[in-house]
Structure 1
Amino acid sequence: MTDKKSTSYPKEKINILFLENISDAAVRNFKEGGYANVRKLSGALSEDELIKEVKDVHLLGIRSKTQITAKVLDAATKLQAIGCFCIGVNQVDLKTATKKGVTVFNAPYSNTRSVAELVIGLSIMLIRRIPDKNKAAHEGIWMKDAKGSYELRGKTLGIIGYGNIGSQVSVMAESLGMKVMFYDTVTKLPLGNAIPKKSLKEVLNAADIITLHVPETAATKNMINKTTLKQFKKGAILLNYARGEVVDLDALRKSILEGTISGAAVDTYPWEPEKNGDRFQTPLQDLPNVILTPHIGGSTEEAQHNIGEDVSNKLYQFLETGMTTGSHTVPPIALPLLEGTHRILHIHKNVPGVLSEINTQLSSHKINILSQYLKTNDEIGYVVLDVDKKLSTAAFNLLKSVKETIKVRLLY
């Protein structure tokens, strides 16, 4: 790494803001790397609060509660990257972030074990009807009864969404002697003896327990509704540790009361409180054999530490080398450092002629490009250039004047 004076963003001037009580591992990683201006806040911020806070922020770290809207991005004129310290990125306006050249990272794999373990544990609790027996015991009622209580062994688990979490649940379920079938809109290689099915209905008809592991999209909204609930095997159990909009909770309540569904565990909801201690309501309250948890499927000490390490490392590598592997906005590039050069990052609209103009501008001023990387997506292009140290300031100024430029940064 070169002297601090040679970079357009000296470490002591980089402002980093972490919200929602992000793991201390993330803060530690940046401070150990020489970034002193790291602020950590315990809760989420409203849109108006964010607009005030992000004015001079270069890196922003959030979890699932904070909503990064177009207005927030418009106010964040210095923002280089956003780290979503969670699985998803649906809380960020990715279209606007892409147009503004803001790199967005997340941690899609870091809490899969935590969710998978809980799904298996909940399956055992529900198939044994432990919630009802627990409630009765707390009320002083003795319910020593085997009726309606079963083992997992030999039962069929239906997994909807065979991604990182769904496939891990699959392996764990088989180790307990369960049969596993799954449905995914994308063809996936089965693990172990899991059987892929061609339709959602096939899985719903046959499984004793259904667990959902799908993203929140227009196609998955209310995918479990009054129609699909009628396709469930009578007495089946439903677990939703995916997204709140995936299940019609009113329809699920009716199915539980009618006895079509014998139990359910739900962790995510269409509406969730802003902070701990707030009043929470759902149609599933006060139902038999139902376990409700407050969006904590991936909330273990291990998962939060892993997420903190994963996302902060991606953000750190982006600041230090321009690496964008894992980005949802700026095209992903992983590249080696080149000694004896200065590196410039150029983000531009993906239109014909930009790369040609970059090369023409630099060559006409006799600036030698020692190495160059380019990658594009539908919206933008990302160029990384290594140039002669003595000419890097001139190159930086020339690149700022290139048509269709969104962002230029002299890295080191």
Structure 2
Amino acid sequence: MTQAITSYPKEKINILFLENISDKAVQRFKQSGYENVKKLAGALGEEELMHEIKDVHLLGIRSKTKITPRVLEAAKKLQAIGCFCIGVNQVNLKEATTHGVAVFNAPYSNTRSVAELVIGAAIMLIRRIPDKNNAAHKGIWLKEAKGSFELRGKTLGIIGYGNIGSQLSVLAEALGMKVLFYDVETKLPLGNANSCKSIKEVVSLSDVISLHVPETAQTKNLINKSVLRNFKKGSILINYARGEVVDLQALANCLAAGDLGGAAIDVYPWEPEKNGDKFETPLQGLPNVILTPHIGGSTEEAQQNIGEDVSIKLFNYLEKGITFGSHTVPALSLPPVEGAHRILHIHNNVPGVLSAINTELSKNNINIVGQYLKTNEEIGYVVLDVDKKLSNKALELIRDVKETIKVRMLY
């Protein structure tokens, strides 16, 4: 069986990649015959993006570009958005769903990069390397063992035992650490890790606490003045998750008072738009603190993995109609069918749409070779394999069905 390809001429497909996305993504599409691939180094503001996106079919972004309702309204031809990062909070998912735009990301591609950096930061902090490094730069020789410890035998507390948290758990155990964790959902422990019943239990027993939770209304200021009081004295806090999770002023107060032994922070409630912009945080100037500019997942390997992962998802949706990994369009994956043309139909999820499609096709004697439907709360996704001779007529009829959002002839 020959592999099905999109029936839409490749030279008419416009692809826009922003924020210096990995060349892996560009190469995948160009090698498959898609020549209209535009890559820009930076993010675009709302007005600029509204202008650029008018004739774009596939959009690739990272974390700085905001996909607002106005942007989606201007994107009349947009089929899918690829978020070349872990999160999708920069996209208005509700509006993207309403417009029938598939949204993909790469939730697992930089887990190793983040986990390794957390271990590195923990070693640096527990040895008080930031203080010794700062002294050496000032010409002060600070050779002493006081306040410096090994990670071996210490307890790591992980809050959020997902992809990164669980991988960190394995790395920490390999270094001889004891691992405790807390997650809102029941998670199977890896190795000898032990689950705790509360955040308070984790932080009160741990020497190093690492955060790996999403940014939600429930996690905003998750680590606040009240929670910090329960931390083991002299312990270390590492946040490589999301900026809103920690009350930085409360953390700064604890560090200044000597209640905590150190901190490593990579994400902040407010972050500069571009390199070179001024950056301020209450943690600046405090002892034994490592501040990094949101680089937890920024390695060459991670960017290549993300570029490959997301571009494959975009490519599979464009050419095969596969929606696995989408946060908006329901997940379907189907093999191509010989002797038929395939039509993709996205519609508002209300009763009677599938019946209306079948009625219209039946009235016009159009044979349905295969039909698949998957829905979520907002929309439905139908894949129809119809008789080749009548597929153009079928496309016209389905496009006119009430509640239709998007229709596309795949092949």
Could you tell me the TM-score, scaled by structure 1's length? 0.98
Residue 282 of structure 1 deviates from its aligned partner by 0.9
Matched, 1:120 2:119: yes
Within 5 A, what are the aligned runs for 1:269-284?
Answer: 269-284=268-283
Residue 403 of structure 1 deviates from its aligned partner by 0.7
Residue 38 of structure 1 deviates from its aligned partner by 0.2
* CA distance in 2 between partners of 1:407 and 1:397 (Å): 12
Greater alpha carbon shift after TM alignment, 275-284 vs 101-110: 275-284
What residue is the counterpart of 2:142 in the other structure? 143
* CA distance in 2 between partners of 1:368 and 1:197 (Å): 58
* CA distance in 1 between partners of 2:4 and 2:318 (Å): 15
What residue is the counterpart of 1:267 in the other structure? 266
SS of 1:261 mapped into structure 2: coil
Matched, 1:231 2:244: no
* CA distance in 2 between partners of 1:254 and 1:117 (Å): 28
Residue 125 of structure 1 deviates from its aligned partner by 0.3
Letter in 2 for 1:184: D
What residue is the counterpart of 2:404 in the other structure? 405
What residue is the counterpart of 2:318 in the other structure? 319
Letter in 1 for 2:63: S
* CA distance in 1 between partners of 2:101 and 2:119 (Å): 38
SS of 2:261 mapped into structure 1: strand
SS of 2:350 mapped into structure 1: coil
* CA distance in 2 between partners of 1:201 and 1:360 (Å): 59
Letter in 1 for 2:235: A
What residue is the counterpart of 2:339 in the other structure? 340
* CA distance in 2 between partners of 1:52 and 1:236 (Å): 50
What residue is the counterpart of 2:98 in the other structure? 99
Letter in 2 for 1:370: V
Matched, 1:21 2:31: no
Letter in 2 for 1:108: P
Letter in 2 for 1:306: N
Matched, 1:300 2:268: no
What residue is the counterpart of 1:376 in the other structure? 375
**CA RMSD across the alignment:** 1.1
Residue 261 of structure 1 deviates from its aligned partner by 1.1
Residue 258 of structure 1 deviates from its aligned partner by 0.6
Residue 3 of structure 1 deviates from its aligned partner by 9.8
* CA distance in 2 between partners of 1:172 and 1:401 (Å): 56
What residue is the counterpart of 1:186 in the other structure? 185
Q: 1:2–1:160: structure 2 CA closer, same or farther, 3 Å change rule?
A: closer
What residue is the counterpart of 2:54 in the other structure? 55
Letter in 2 for 1:166: G
What residue is the counterpart of 1:354 in the other structure? 353
What residue is the counterpart of 1:160 in the other structure? 159
Q: 1:198–1:233: structure 2 CA closer, same or farther, 3 Å change rule?
A: same
Maintained 8 Å contact 2:3/2:336: no
* CA distance in 1 between partners of 2:195 and 2:46 (Å): 43
Deviations 1:25-50 (A, max 9, x none): 00000001111100000001111111
Residue 140 of structure 1 deviates from its aligned partner by 0.6
What residue is the counterpart of 2:109 in the other structure? 110
* CA distance in 2 between partners of 1:348 and 1:2 (Å): 27
Residue 340 of structure 1 deviates from its aligned partner by 2.0
SS of 1:264 mapped into structure 2: strand
Q: What is the number of equivalent residue pairs in this alignment?
A: 410
SS of 2:396 mapped into structure 1: helix
SS of 2:218 mapped into structure 1: coil
Residue 110 of structure 1 deviates from its aligned partner by 0.4
The gaps in structure 1 that reach 5 residues or longer are none
Deviations 1:83-119 (A, max 9, x none): 0000000000000000110000000000000000000
Deviations 1:265-306 (A, max 9, x none): 000111111111111111111110000111000000000000
* CA distance in 1 between partners of 2:3 and 2:115 (Å): 45
Letter in 1 for 2:212: H
* CA distance in 2 between partners of 1:260 and 1:361 (Å): 71
* CA distance in 2 between partners of 1:411 and 1:12 (Å): 15
* CA distance in 1 between partners of 2:162 and 2:169 (Å): 10
Maintained 8 Å contact 2:4/2:319: no
Matched, 1:174 2:173: yes
Letter in 1 for 2:71: V
* CA distance in 1 between partners of 2:221 and 2:339 (Å): 56
Letter in 2 for 1:311: V
* CA distance in 1 between partners of 2:70 and 2:226 (Å): 39
Matched, 1:330 2:325: no
Maintained 8 Å contact 2:115/2:167: yes
* CA distance in 2 between partners of 1:246 and 1:338 (Å): 48
Report percent identity of matched pairs: 74
Within 5 A, what are the aligned runs for 1:207-218?
Answer: 207-218=206-217
* CA distance in 2 between partners of 1:127 and 1:2 (Å): 55
Residue 2 of structure 1 deviates from its aligned partner by 8.8
Deviations 1:334-353 (A, max 9, x none): 11111221110000000001
Letter in 2 for 1:209: V
* CA distance in 1 between partners of 2:282 and 2:338 (Å): 61
Q: 1:308–1:3: structure 2 CA closer, same or farther, 3 Å change rule?
A: closer
Deviation beyond 6 Å, 4+ runs, structure 1:
1-4
* CA distance in 2 between partners of 1:46 and 1:253 (Å): 33
Could you tell me the TM-score, scaled by structure 2's length? 0.98
Maintained 8 Å contact 2:4/2:320: no
